[in-house]
Chains A and B, each alone.
Chain A
Amino acid sequence: MSGIYLHPLPIRIWHWTNAFIVFVLIITGIQLRTPSINIIQDYRTVVLLHKYFGFAMTASFLFWFFYYIITGGLIKYYLLRLKDIKGMPPQVFYYVFFIFNGKKNPFSPSTDNKFNPMQKLAYSSVMFVFTPLIIITGILFSDITYFFSLIKTIGGLRILDAIHVATAYIFVLYLVVHIYMATLGEKPHSHVKGMITGYEE
């Protein structure tokens, strides 16, 4: 294997498991939001799939969180520092302009610094803000009667729904960009290969 060993096995397993969970949640979520789009025939199945894959996502998130707490990568990889903020404009310019004239990526990953500033911004906001938000609102949805007083404190079911759906849109938009940017490695499949083997070129 060539390159740097960036992604340990547990994280690679988590990544692809989580990807599958998010995929199922998005498909079922679209059908729940717009029942006229009939992806899965039985609506009851859609409701249950969304509910139980939601619980699976909670477990998956907790695994990711405690794995990094124990191994100590949470602050090292995800905390935005002043250096990262300064590094954002060059990174954006690279993706928008310089990538086309063959210039080198201003960021090269290392075992101590896996993500470029824009990746850090995207991953930390998704993992620390949007994932917990969608998980908590989802859990409240899982038993409306049980959590009714809490839901009322938030402002009612319609507000809860609004928060859950708005976060879901952010997730989908993030995912589209994430998947596309995975093709921006040395070769279009480099990052995907890296996430399978663990070695980034």
Chain B
Amino acid sequence: MVLCDSIGVMNIFILFFLILFPILSHSTIPTEDCLGCHEKFTTFKHGNNKCIQCHSDITSLPHDEKLKKPSCNNCHKQTSDIYEGSIHKKNLSCKDCHDVHFIERQKKYCIDCHVGVSHDSLPSKEKHLQGMECLACHGKTTKGNMLINIQIDQKTSISRDILDPDKNRFLSRIEWDNLQTILLNKYKGKHQQKKHYVVISNAHSIMKKPVSCNVCHNEKGIFQHAKITISGVSPSVFSADPKIFIPELPSIEDYKHTIHGKKGIECFDCHVSQERISDSTCITCHDELYGVYKNTVHSKKGAALCTDCHNPHYTKAYKELGVPDRLGICVRCHKDYIEMHKWLPNTVLHFNYLECSTCHSPDSTKSMVLSLALRENGVRLPIKYSDLEKAFGKGINVKDFIDKDADGTIRSEELAHFFLELTKIFGKDIAIISSIVVTKVHHNYSEKNTKSKVCATCHSEEAPFYESFFISIPEKEESIYIPVKGSVISAFPSSIFIDMCLLGEEKIKAADFTRVFKAGRKDRSQIIDELGFKLIDFIGIILALLIFSGIIIHIILRVVVKR
């Protein structure tokens, strides 16, 4: 017991000594005493530190002439660890960049040492060097944001209604393209557009080699947000998807997942020299398609090579591209497409659902493709396989889940049942998106100024895409298309298709009247149910006929009684 007690007292004493020793020893030499000799450091500032906190080997004054070098490590351990892996570690100490006595003054910038670096091997050199800091490529970059500043004449402004018709304060690719067209047409030479790429990086992590292009230029690039600020009379701020501004580049890893990669085509099969790939390379396999394309305006006028429209390194197959991606291909050259389609009512809305080839490649096969999305903060994000797993169970085969009778196609009833199941689970968060997409491409895009600006081409039951109806769903490995049999949108409950804007398929026909009146009592109610919104016309026309008959009888009676 006595021994234990004496150890306990000893411990407390040692602890007390350890705490007090530095305070006592340091506090013995006030900073003012140091400054008595070292006048040039009168205004020194390194946090709230005093001289002896770094020069800790000074215990009394006057101190030894030769002192130990202060170690930054004592306080800046984390930074020091990062700096261990930096290329600068070999040649530069902390002091070479930081003025340790006046720490807020940055001593050196990259350019102080790296004067006149040519960056000749950097593609789009000016764009990269103007928009980014050295750290973006030479540091270990984790994430970043984009700032886009558009300055227009201070006396004018672009209406927010024009810029952001859906008022979600988020510019989609179409809305951004529309803005570019407006700037080009109305503010040519009177506006400035600057893109700045802000990356979160660490100046102590400068690497031997710059980061790979793929850090930014791939599908999962580091840029998470883009903020667009437009000046003018009423300045506006919008968000946007950074992918709009950063083109994707091929990576060998990603290439394995492309359609070419999966079919075993190696890099050297196409890249036989340093020369840019020409159409002749593509013809090796795609000669049949090229047979059509070579006689079209695009090819004859030398406007577009195969690779101008088709990125052979793109991870998604063409059929997996949504409308915005497909539009993006044509829009790279045809930037004024919104202006050119002003004749089309609800222009921007139409381009949310239609790709260019719907009209400009008449021989292509158009299909109605339904896809699923989840709404998050007003933005619709494509539904993922993991979302469906959460809803319907792990490892679910979505196709088998929808196609109850396993006949390979989905009937309206099967699809309606699936949609209702989804709405039960996700509520209002689920969005069913329908797009008119080209499922079989015919490469003749020469059709221009199509005289048939007739809405009924699409807004009717006879629209060609009802013959080719699909649903695109995510499966474990990849998204698949499943054909939907004999269906029109009006066959589904309207609450499901709240996002659906295509009207015009519910036109009443003489045959509908014949069907209702010829049917037996039992079948009649079912046929009337199937009429859907056509019921309005059905009742309206019957009432009109009754009223006309009443009027005719009234007129006859008036004539008879000479009234």
Contact = CB atoms under 8 A, between A and B. Distances in A.
Interface of A: 33-36, 42-44, 47-48, 51, 99-102, 143-146, 148-149, 152, 155-159, 161-162, 165-166, 169, 172-173, 176-177, 180
A138 B7 CA distance: 91
B348 to A, nearest CB: 6
A92 B242 CA distance: 69
Majority secondary structure, A binding face = helix
A43 B454 contact: yes
B239 to A, nearest CB: 17
A100 B560 CA distance: 9
The interface size bin for chain B is 35 or more
A99 B558 CA distance: 8
A156 B494 contact: yes
A100 B563 contact: yes
A35 B500 contact: no
A159 B349 CA distance: 18
B547 A101 contact: no
B425 interface: no
Contacts of A33: 507, 537
Contacts of A149: 167
Nearest to B428: A152
Contact of B459 (A35, A146, A159, A180): A35
Given A100-B560, A143-B165, A145-B349, 5 more contacts: A99-B558, A145-B165, A152-B498, A158-B500, A176-B548
Q: Which 7 A-B pairs have the closest CB atoms?
A: A169-B540, A35-B456, A145-B165, A156-B498, A100-B561, A158-B494, A145-B349
Contacts, number: 100
Nearest to B508: A34
A95 to B, nearest CB: 8
Contact of B507 (A36, A143, A148, A152): A36
A47 B166 CA distance: 22
Nearest to B347: A145
B346 interface: yes
Contact of A35 (B166, B454, B561): B454
Contacts of A173: 540, 543-544, 547
A49 B535 CA distance: 27
B249 to A, nearest CB: 34
A22 to B, nearest CB: 16
Given A34-B507, A162-B533, A47 B557 contact: no
A180 B166 contact: no
B345 interface: yes
B453 A44 contact: yes
A98 B561 CA distance: 11
A180 B498 CA distance: 41
